[in-house]
Amino acid sequence: MTKIVCILAYEGVELLDLAGPQSAFHEANQVKPGNYKLLVVGFKIAPVTCEAGMAIIPEQTINDVERCHTLIIPGGAGSRSPSITERHLAALRQLAGRSERIVSICTGAYLLARTGLPSGTILATHWAFAKSLKAAFPAIEVDSAKLYRQHGRYWSSAGVTSGIDLTLSLIEQDYGKATAHYVARHLVVYMRRAGNQKQYSDALDIQSPADDRLASIVNWLHENMSQEITVMRLAELLCMSERQCHRFFKDKTGLTPATYVERFRMQVASDMLVSSAKEIKVIALLVGFKSYDGFRRAFERNFSISPSAYRHAFLLD
């Protein structure tokens, strides 16, 4: 039986969030015509402008959709905009109620959450928006690590390309692994990517520390990263006791001094893995690890992927 997939287009939608799943479902129809019927729907039938500037014209309004198996809510700046009114949300809420699966892509989680969700619903979103989403909707649980996840009839994904990862899972659930593999091959993407969202996020924001004392520590760490760095040494540099140093780091970064230093090392290491041809064991030494095994464990703890897999995923030929 053909499954109707409704993809929401609205002012300020992210084009890739919409086009990625749409293309994947389209490829599933090449395996067997009629697997899916794809509908781009909107709050009204009028052109909307996506974030990249392209105009999209919905085929139907969400009020006119009679049947919907899978409702997809892409992300984009518009998902957080007051231009989507309570009247729009009420109509979207009704369509969600008529749908078997509801899917949010990236920051589409904001728009889905705005419709009202059961307390404790778990949603994935882009790592850079996870804290903001949780602050705006404290009753939901936010997963900032996984590329995508399912919680009951709700599916959600992280950044834009992970919308394709999620869609491949939906296709596999609907029509089996062979169909999903066909789609992955034709889109030239992995059927299942290694690791999770952590590999795409910064382990630590070390670019512009707001506090001058922390900035001086960052400069010192850059110059002394290969050394053993203790809380005692950091406290000396800050002219504080170790207890004061611990409180200072927790206050300014939310991290203990030891965790901050580890994440600093990992951020520098991740940059070196993709910007230099140095052997991984050499990089481990340069960022302060005496053994490769210790470096690998720390890297996997921060990025959920091995250093070699990280380099393979991000190093450009």
Q: What is the CATH number of the domain that holds 167?
A: 3.40.50.880
Select from 148, 166, 196 the last residue of a domain: 196
In the predicted structure, residue 127 carries a pLDDT above the cut 50: yes
Q: What is the DSSP letter of 2?
A: P
Dump pLDDT digits (tens) for 31-90. 999 999 999 999 999 999 999 899 999 999 999 999 999 999 999 999 999 999 999 999
Q: Are residues 143 and 251 in the same domain?
A: no
Q: What is the mean pLDDT of residues 250-271?
A: 91
For residue 161, the model assigns a pLDDT of 83
Q: Are residues 9 and 154 in the same domain?
A: yes
Q: Are residues 171 and 264 in the same domain?
A: no
**Beta-carbon-side half-sphere exposure of residue 222 (alpha carbons within 13 Å):** 9
- Reference 261, options 289, 292, 241; nearest CA is 289
**CB 103 within 8 Å of CB 131:** no
In a domain, 89, yes or no: yes
Q: What is the mean pLDDT of residues 289-297?
A: 94
For residue 316, the model assigns a pLDDT of 45
Alpha helices (H) in 42-107, listed in sequence order: 86-97
Q: Are residues 158 and 303 in the same domain?
A: no
Q: How confident is the model at residue 317 (pLDDT cuts 50, 70, 90)?
A: very low
Distant-in-sequence, close-in-space partners of 274: CB < 8 Å, separation ≥ 6: 310, 311, 314, 315, 316
Domain count, the chain: 2
For residue 147, the model assigns a pLDDT of 85
Dump pLDDT digits (tens) for 128-182. 899 999 999 999 999 987 889 999 999 999 877 889 989 999 999 999 988 988 8
14-49: burial string, b at 16+ Cβ within 10 Å, e else: bbbbbbbbbbbbbbbbebeeebbebbbbbbeeeebb
Q: Are residues 266 and 167 in the same domain?
A: no
Q: What is the CATH number of the domain that holds 304?
A: 1.10.10.60
Q: Are residues 36 and 92 in the same domain?
A: yes
What φ, ψ does residue 109 adopt, rounded to 5°?
-60, -35
Dump pLDDT digits (tens) for 187-235. 877 655 554 555 555 556 555 567 889 989 988 998 999 999 999 999 9
Q: Is the pTM of this model over 0.85?
A: no
Q: How confident is the model at residue 315 (pLDDT cuts 50, 70, 90)?
A: low
Q: Give residue 279's domain range.
A: 212-314
Q: Are residues 191 and 226 in the same domain?
A: no
194 vs 288, more confident: 288
